[in-house]
Amino acid sequence: MTVIYSDIPLTRPTTPLLDRLDSPAQLRSLPESELGQVADELRAYLLYSVGQSGGHFGAGLGVVELTVALHYVFNTPSDRLVWDVGHQTYPHKILTGRREELLTIRHQGGLAGFPNRSESEYDPFGVGHSSTSLSAALGMAIGSAINQPADSQPERRCVAVIGDGAMTAGMAFEAINHIAHVDLDMLVVLNDNNMSISKNVGGLATYFSKLWSSKLYNLFRESTKTLLKAFPSTSGIIRKTEELMKALVAPGIVFEELGFTYIGPIDGHNIPLLVHTLENLKQITGPVLLHVATQKGKGFSPAEKDPIGYHALNKIPTPAGKTSTPAASNAPKLLKYQQVFGNWLCDMAVNHPELIAITPAMSEGSGMVEFAERFPQQFHDVAIAEQHAVTLAAGIACEGKKPVVAIYSTFLQRAYDQLIHDVALQNLDVLFAIDRAGLVGEDGATHAGSFDISFMRCIPNMVIMAPADENETRQMLYTGYIHSGPAAVRYPRGTGPGVKIEQTMTALPIGKGRLSRQGQQVAILSFGALLPTALSVGEELDASVADMRFIKPLDTELLDQLVSDHALIVTLEENAIAGGAGAAVSEYFAQRGVVVAVLHLGLPDIFIDHATHDAQIAAAGLDAATISKRIKARLLTT
């Protein structure tokens, strides 16, 4: 019986059994009867540690028992355990020698929020994006099987744990098709935590799951296959009978048709059942899919009631366990850029029935909840299917409608071919609202939007905009909307500087920036949200500062003006320097034969680890002090 908590523990819970476990090998030395206590202590420590550090929350609570069972049955790290996305891997980290370090998770210098190969041998594959686990685990199975005798037992088992949400992505189905084709021994655990396809949890389904995973049943099944080869004329009747029997009690016939042995659904919080089933599945040859039903937020009643709201948790800052009430302030509350986008989307839809908004499973994160409620006929959440989202938008544009694709920068990477081939090549009228452009703080390198300028700038027909504040974001979204052709507005995570937002929407002239500060000798060209930093440095150095606004097309008239009366041109962007906006400036100068000193400031050629956004900016050398220092040093060589 799972212990249910209603509050986050504020002091470290007593976990005598868990404290003895510094590796899965020690877990496997325990009698099975003690695994329930391990799970209870693990959940208590997870609640406490995430309360102390902040981090992903509900998904991990939902797989406590499953994690214990997997590490108990399989010989990790020799057996490969590959998790999809990674939000749910905090219990895995606790059981694999990182218990005390969990208090540092997502903090600078601490544990990553996702599995990371450089962090532990128990993390065989680094993840962060969805639906990669099946392909990675299959690759490991293929790699392990090379040079191994065909009739021998595999040296290691490869297990992939994937959620029902991640299973919606095309990449997962591509992998499933290949897994069935190569027919290697591999286990896929489908962690179904929203009951979308788990209607059959109960006594009958559990009974048949035990039956189907038993040695006796599978011996019968393998014998039947042999018999069918000898008497093929009976194959249709026997196979149809088996399919009809299983279809009565389980939703897995589709997986059986694809070549998997399907087991489930079973209760993912029942440790004895999980261990019994997993032990039996180790004896089955070929690809196997185990369908487990879990509850996101299990064991913490507020998260059970609101799994979306408790997907992640902020650090609890006060001894009372509740955030202190802030002092009254007359200052307006800063809006997040995602709220600016969501408000603009709703305002536009009132008078623009041709607007169709599309998101690949990021409605909440992108600020689209209100729009989805108010304009359901104009809203499409396509699930974790970025490629489909972009080509869907292209098809909608072909019918004279105006699609707006709201997508994180890091996820647009997954739809690059569709962006080029299906949208830009046909010059279709699609607006991309690119969220999380730049560094993203504690989510780290897997979710950073470090490359979108670089990979979009080379695409013909694209218009690319980078707003400096909230009002520019609203006006640029409108500009991109009324522009005929593919356009992108990239804006960062979090809040802006607090600029007043003009409700009246005014289209900006395409390819025109503005001079924000007139100075001398040095001109800082700011592309995007680093403008306040640029202005601060400009004040210190008496430098000119331009809010460039457009990356493509560039404001070449403004560039010509600035290069004529400044000795040093500095470009500033929160994107990779390689191929970025600064590179575009240098390309223009080279094309014109202009010789001028140029300093490119942006993200260096490294992946920047998780930390606060301010710490990441400092690590990239994009804080005001470092920018000023580098400009002064460059002036000495000019």
| Residues facing 570 on adjacent strands | 524, 599
Give the Å distances, CA to CA, from 392 to 403, 423, 480, 537: 9, 10, 19, 44
Report pLDDT for 62: 94
Report pLDDT for 630: 98
The model's pLDDT over 107-130, given as tens digits with 9 standing for 90+, comes to 999 999 999 999 999 999 999 889
- Name the residue with higher pLDDT: 205 or 412: 412
**CATH number where 218 lies:** 3.40.50.970
Report pLDDT for 80: 97
**Pairwise CA distance, residues 83 & 91, whole Å:** 12
Active-site residue identified among 98, 106, 298, 414: 414
- How many structural domains compose the chain? 3
Report pLDDT for 102: 93
On whether residue 587 sits in a domain, the answer given is yes
* Residue 117 Cα to chain centre, angstroms: 17
Average of per-residue pLDDT across 306-328: 62
CB 294 within 8 A of CB 268: yes
Query: Domain range for residue 267?
Result: 18-313
On whether residue 383 sits in a domain, the answer given is yes
Which residue type does 195 have? M
Say if residue 162's pLDDT is above 80.
yes
On whether residue 364 sits in a domain, the answer given is yes
Report pLDDT for 257: 82
Element (H, E) at 175: helix 170-182
| 20 assigned to active site | no
Say if residue 336's pLDDT is above 50.
yes
- 3-class DSSP state of 380: strand
Give the Å distances, CA to CA, from 546 to 149, 349, 530, 549, 625: 66, 33, 11, 9, 19
Res. 204 pLDDT band, cuts 50 70 90: very low
Res. 246 pLDDT band, cuts 50 70 90: low
Report pLDDT for 241: 54
With tokens 């087991």, the residue in question is 263
Give the residue from 313, 346, 366 where a domain finishes: 313
Neighbouring residues of 109: CB distance < 8 A, sequence distance ≥ 6:
611
Report pLDDT for 249: 47
Active-site residue identified among 296, 298, 402, 436: 296
Report pLDDT for 168: 82
Q: Are residues 409 and 529 in the same domain?
A: no
Give the Å distances, CA to CA, from 488 to 13, 526, 527: 49, 18, 14
Q: Are residues 106 and 38 in the same domain?
A: yes
The model's pLDDT over 459-473, given as tens digits with 9 standing for 90+, comes to 999 999 999 999 999
Report pLDDT for 220: 53
Q: Are residues 270 and 143 in the same domain?
A: yes
The model's pLDDT over 385-398, given as tens digits with 9 standing for 90+, comes to 999 999 999 999 99
Q: Are residues 475 and 433 in the same domain?
A: yes
Q: Are residues 420 and 364 in the same domain?
A: yes
Of 596, 601, 609, which Cα lies nearest the Cα of 625? Answer: 601
Cis? peptide before 77, omega within 30° of 0 = yes
Report pLDDT for 206: 52
Say if residue 491's pLDDT is above 50.
yes
The model's pLDDT over 269-294, given as tens digits with 9 standing for 90+, comes to 999 999 999 999 999 999 999 999 99
| 296 assigned to active site | yes
Q: Are residues 455 and 556 in the same domain?
A: no
Say if residue 231's pLDDT is above 70.
no
Rounded to a whole number, what is the largest CA-CA distance in the chain? 90
**Pairwise CA distance, residues 366 & 368, whole Å:** 6
Q: Are residues 452 and 543 in the same domain?
A: no
**CATH number where 590 lies:** 3.40.50.920
Active-site residue identified among 65, 80, 106, 386: 386
The angle at the Cα of 197, spanning 194 to 202, to the nearest 5 degrees, equals 90
Say if residue 196's pLDDT is above 70.
no
What is the 3 state secondary structure string of 281-329?
A: HCCCCCEEEEEEECCCCCCEHHHHHCCCCCCEECCCCCCCCCCCCCCCC
On whether residue 522 sits in a domain, the answer given is yes
Say if residue 147's pLDDT is above 80.
no
On whether residue 322 sits in a domain, the answer given is no
With tokens 């690949």, the residue in question is 360
On whether residue 2 sits in a domain, the answer given is no
* Residue 294 Cα to chain centre, angstroms: 21
Element (H, E) at 572: strand 566-576
| 557 assigned to active site | no
Report pLDDT for 311: 81
Q: What percent of the chain has pLDDT over 70?
A: 88
Average of per-residue pLDDT across 350-356: 97
**Which of 206-210, 357-361, 374-378 is predicted least confidently?**
206-210
Res. 48 pLDDT band, cuts 50 70 90: very high
Neighbouring residues of 178: CB distance < 8 A, sequence distance ≥ 6:
135, 138
